[in-house]
């Protein structure tokens, strides 16, 4: 693979990852009530913290954003 092909592949991978994270953020934004947050937290507690780190990070940021409004 040439250097240019490698750069293009890396750019495409980053774009796909960014788009995937944005979609996950949109889906998690639906958990916006205390009951819904408790539900998702209960589900996350059943899994390894390393597996849920990104989701928990998004949820914390979204909660902070709601408080700041």
Contact of 41 with 31, CB cutoff 8 Å: no
pTM here is: 0.80
Say which residues have a Cβ less than 8 Å from residue 54's Cβ, sequence separation at least 6.
21, 24
Per-residue pLDDT, averaged over 37-60, amounts to 95
Percent of the chain with pLDDT over 70: 100
pLDDT for the residue 67: 87
Higher model confidence: residue 68 or residue 58? 58
pLDDT for the residue 38: 93
Q: Provide the residue range defining the domain that includes 44.
A: 3-68
The model's confidence at residue 56, banded by pLDDT at 50, 70 and 90, is: very high
Domain count, the chain: 1
């Amino acid at each position: 693979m040439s250097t240019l092909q490698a750069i293009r592949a890396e750019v495409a991978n980053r774009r796909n990852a960014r788009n995937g994270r944005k979609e996950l953020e949109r889906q998690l934004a639906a958990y916006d009530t205390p009951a819904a947050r408790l539900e998702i937290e209960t589900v996350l507690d059943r899994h390894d913290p390393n597996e849920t780190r990104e989701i928990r990070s998004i949820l914390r940021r979204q909660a902070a954003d709601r408080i700041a409004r």
